A and B are shown apart, each in its own frame.
Chain A
Amino acid sequence: MKETEISKHTISVLVDNESGVLARVIGLFSGRGYNIESLTVAEVDANAHQSRITVVTSGTPMVIEQIKAQLSRLVPVHKVSDLTLAGPSVERELALVKVIASGEKRVESLRIADIFKARAVDATNDSFVYEIIGSPEKIDAFIKLMEPLGLSEISRTGVAAISRGTLTM
């Protein structure tokens, strides 16, 4: 890859679930001017008090290397894994999408939801809330299609990711 080419990477970080750890990670990104396209965090092992942070970021190969090295040297960080480099991985995001419409637009939104396997998790006479799960690109596409159909609010979780096959962190 060209040294100046910017590419997107999904990085998983296993951390001790102690207070301030998320602030450390976010502070590192803002303080050093790195991008955060998406960031999710939740405890994954209650007994071991470990959380997993998934960050989608972008940069030149050198910047991506820096990001990983900087993350690795944070004291509460157990492990940093670049899922984009580690091989094939699964990336999923969940979005709740509110569409306020009536008549043909309302019906059309239902039809598109069906194609995208999005579920209506709330409905009133004037609105739907769709739940859609998929890759960020799929969700982007869904949202784009909803735009002319009364799209009025979006809540997205950000990306959770894991490598395919037997490979673990």
Chain B
Amino acid sequence: MAERILSGSEVVLQALADQGVEVVFGYPGGAVLPLYDEIFKQNRIRHVLVRHEQAAVHAAEGYARSTGKVGVVLVTSGPGATNAVTGLTDALMDSIPVVCLTGQVPTHLIGNDAFQEADTTGITRPCTKHNYLVKNPDKLARTMHEAFHVASSGRPGPVVIDLPKDILVGKAPYLEPGQVQHRTYNPVVKGERSQIEEAMEMLASAKKPILYCGGGVINSGTQACKLLTEFTRMIGAPITLTLMGLGAYPASDKQYLGMVGMHGTYESNMSMHDCDVMVAIGARFDDRVTGNLDFFAPNSQKIQIDIDQSSINKNVPVDIGIVGDVGHVLEDMIKIWKAKQYKIEANALDSWWKEIEGWRSKRCLSYKQSKDVIKPQHVIRSIHAATRDRKTYITTDVGQHQMWAAQHFGFEHPYEWMTSGGLGTMGYGMPAALGVQVAHPDATVVCFTGDASIMMNIQECATMTQYRLPIKTVILNNRYMGMVRQWQQLLHGSRYSESYSETLPDFVKLSEAFGFTGLTCDKPADLDDAIKKMLEIDGPVILDVAVDDKENCYPMIPSGKPHNEMLLAQDTSGDEAIDSDEGMVLV
């Protein structure tokens, strides 16, 4: 096909359209005015105006994580780009495909400390999967398409394209997506057959197997999640999921042990500790999962499947490391398992499950209900119960409420759980919910947040109102930075330094000021009604729930401790301290 000569801005918009982009989350400014002009002139691509560039990236993450597509961001140069950095880092840590277009000063001014100039490619190099500065109009179209390919393939991640203003204004040739082939970047998707065979043989000989699965399964797609379920049921082994993996396997299934890690379930962590063969699928042995590495699953052989070679043998040496897309590898695993008629020895598996049932019977997530004060866990469970029969997406902020949501909201399907795992970014929840609701206008989107986190991107209330996004924001209001308070209690002699939320706004008035409904609830008896009312309202709602300010998040593996030294709620009096200097230096 003959090249078409367009303006740079037209090339960008055309490329977005050809990449199937429906929506861009952005915020204008001088350097990107030509792009905004182009957006104004067309109606194929929708622009959602956020109120802070960090929120644009989180919204794109929410969109991406809940659809499996690439999220797209558009921000201006200088402060626009630097404001996006937290979101980009968040997307990098959690492997979320995002393409972020940043404006830049004209090429001839680059390096001159021009107005709103920032070294965007320099600043974002360590927080993106890849980034580009387009200095040559001939490369514009190719770069756009390549960015989508890089963001979405292999281990997904954020990609920045820095666009000098003269490139946007000047002429540039347009090239269709299919005409682009990458010379160096070709991620492996198919796993090495002989390794998979070896792995299945190892697994078949296990007496205490466990599957430990993470966000990589969800990134691989819904088909991969189906295959995981098929495989797990076929072999009869217990399965645990990481924070990022929730939803990859149905939470209600009896083979599911719950979440693994610092605030994971007792049965998951004990099974991880005592297993003899561990299969890590799309999970990266994060320190929040492993606890003290010296005591991590000490008697196990380990198999790891990951699309990213660098995730294998990074923290934990494994016996078999398979590089490949989880979906492809699971397909092969199922074929081989069937062909070889493998079966984990029934007696062994039986007594393994008996052991696990023993741990399960501790009911580690139980909490004491009270007539006077609302328990935060109960709020999560009540909302889970109230939304069971509708398509529901959950986002969270960061803190105790996040962990309670992860523990108590049962996720049955992938794509329904959006949280900031790797970076732990307070302020993620509401903007991520924006992106989810934009992608799924008819679904129920609930953002569980804390009294401190909500303040970090509170300006997005205006975006909710503008686009009539009926997000239900539930504040588990303990009037503390609860997670900080918990650590201070356990590790710093209950010296609650700066963790009390001294001057919180009146969230009802605040909601009304932004143009939507605010509700409060402070009595256990009123909770169900408040939830019902919230869900019935056809618009955004903030529900401010006053919860027990003393409640700690258990179970907990204190930093620096092995899996089998978890603290359980029932073993704690409420004012215990962990005697560990080692734990104090860890995060």
Residues of chain A touching chain B, judged by Cβ–Cβ distance below 8 Å, are 3, 15-16, 19-20, 23-24, 27, 31, 62, 65-66, 69-70, 72-78
Q: Which residues of B contact A62 (CB under 8 A)?
A: 313, 317
Residues of chain B touching chain A, judged by Cβ–Cβ distance below 8 Å, are 121-122, 125-126, 129-131, 133, 150, 154-155, 183-185, 308-310, 312-314, 317
Taking a contact as CB atoms under 8 Å apart, the answer to whether B126 and A31 are in contact is yes
Taking a contact as CB atoms under 8 Å apart, the answer to whether A66 and B310 are in contact is yes
Give me the 8 closest cross-chain CB pairs, A-B, nearest first: A69-B310, A75-B130, A69-B309, A75-B185, A78-B184, A70-B310, A31-B126, A27-B126
Give A125 Cβ to nearest chain B Cβ, in Å.
44
Q: Which residues of B contact A31 (CB under 8 A)?
A: 126
**Which residue from chain B places its CB closest to the CB of A28 in the assembled complex?**
B126
Q: How far is the CA of A78 from the CA of B184 in the complex (A)?
A: 5
Taking a contact as CB atoms under 8 Å apart, the answer to whether A73 and B314 are in contact is no
**Which residue from chain B places its CB closest to the CB of A74 in the assembled complex?**
B130
Taking a contact as CB atoms under 8 Å apart, the answer to whether B125 and A24 are in contact is yes
Q: How far is the CA of A19 from the CA of B155 in the complex (A)?
A: 23
The total number of A-B Cβ pairs within 8 Å is: 44
Q: Which residues of B contact A74 (CB under 8 A)?
A: 130
Interface centre among B125, B130, B184, B317 (most CB of A within 10 A): B184
Taking a contact as CB atoms under 8 Å apart, the answer to whether A20 and B313 are in contact is no
In the complex, 22 of the A-B residue pairs with CB atoms within 8 angstroms, ordered by the A residue number, are A3-B317, A15-B184, A16-B183, A19-B133, A20-B122, A20-B125, A20-B133, A27-B125, A27-B126, A62-B313, A65-B313, A66-B313, A69-B309, A69-B312, A70-B310, A72-B309, A73-B155, A73-B309, A73-B310, A75-B129, A75-B130, A75-B184
Query: With A69-B312, A73-B155 given, can you name 18 additional A-B contacts, CB distance below 8 Å?
Result: A15-B184, A19-B133, A20-B122, A20-B125, A20-B133, A23-B122, A24-B125, A27-B125, A27-B126, A31-B126, A62-B317, A66-B310, A66-B314, A72-B310, A73-B309, A73-B310, A75-B130, A75-B184
Q: Which residues of A contact B184 (CB under 8 A)?
A: 15-16, 75-78
Contact of A23 among B125, B183, B314 (CB under 8 A): B125
Q: How far is the CA of A164 from the CA of B310 in the complex (A)?
A: 28
Q: How far is the CA of A15 from the CA of B313 in the complex (A)?
A: 25
Give B341 Cβ to nearest chain A Cβ, in Å.
35
Q: How far is the CA of A66 from the CA of B285 in the complex (A)?
A: 14
Give A25 Cβ to nearest chain B Cβ, in Å.
11
Q: How far is the CA of A168 from the CA of B174 in the complex (A)?
A: 38
Q: Which residues of B contact A16 (CB under 8 A)?
A: 183-184
**Which residue from chain A places its CB closest to the CB of B317 in the assembled complex?**
A62
Q: How far is the CA of A20 from the CA of B123 in the complex (A)?
A: 12
Give B22 Cβ to nearest chain A Cβ, in Å.
26
Taking a contact as CB atoms under 8 Å apart, the answer to whether B121 and A20 are in contact is yes
Q: Which residues of A contact B312 (CB under 8 A)?
A: 69
Q: Which residues of A contact B126 (CB under 8 A)?
A: 27, 31
Q: How far is the CA of A7 from the CA of B183 in the complex (A)?
A: 33
**Which residue from chain B places its CB closest to the CB of A69 in the assembled complex?**
B310
Q: How far is the CA of A74 from the CA of B154 in the complex (A)?
A: 12
Q: Which residues of A contact B185 (CB under 8 A)?
A: 75
Interface centre among B121, B183, B308, B310 (most CB of A within 10 A): B310
Q: Which residues of B contact A78 (CB under 8 A)?
A: 183-184
**Which residue from chain B places its CB closest to the CB of A72 in the assembled complex?**
B309
Q: Which residues of B contact A66 (CB under 8 A)?
A: 310, 313-314
Q: How far is the CA of A109 from the CA of B350 in the complex (A)?
A: 79
Q: How far is the CA of A3 from the CA of B293 in the complex (A)?
A: 15
Contact of B308 among A3, A65, A73 (CB under 8 A): A73
Q: Which residues of B contact A69 (CB under 8 A)?
A: 308-310, 312
Q: How far is the CA of A20 from the CA of B121 in the complex (A)?
A: 8
**Which residue from chain A places its CB closest to the CB of B315 in the assembled complex?**
A62
Q: How far is the CA of A27 from the CA of B308 in the complex (A)?
A: 19
Q: Which residues of B contact A24 (CB under 8 A)?
A: 125
Give B557 Cβ to nearest chain A Cβ, in Å.
24
Q: Which residues of A contact B122 (CB under 8 A)?
A: 20, 23
**Which residue from chain B places its CB closest to the CB of A48 in the assembled complex?**
B183
**Which residue from chain B places its CB closest to the CB of A75 in the assembled complex?**
B130
Q: Which residues of B contact A19 (CB under 8 A)?
A: 133
**Which residue from chain B places its CB closest to the CB of A73 in the assembled complex?**
B310
Q: Which residues of A contact B150 (CB under 8 A)?
A: 75
Q: How far is the CA of A85 from the CA of B150 in the complex (A)?
A: 30
Give B128 Cβ to nearest chain A Cβ, in Å.
10
Give B189 Cβ to nearest chain A Cβ, in Å.
14
Give A15 Cβ to nearest chain B Cβ, in Å.
8
Q: How far is the CA of A78 from the CA of B125 in the complex (A)?
A: 19
Q: How far is the CA of A63 from the CA of B99 in the complex (A)?
A: 31
Q: Which residues of B contact A72 (CB under 8 A)?
A: 309-310
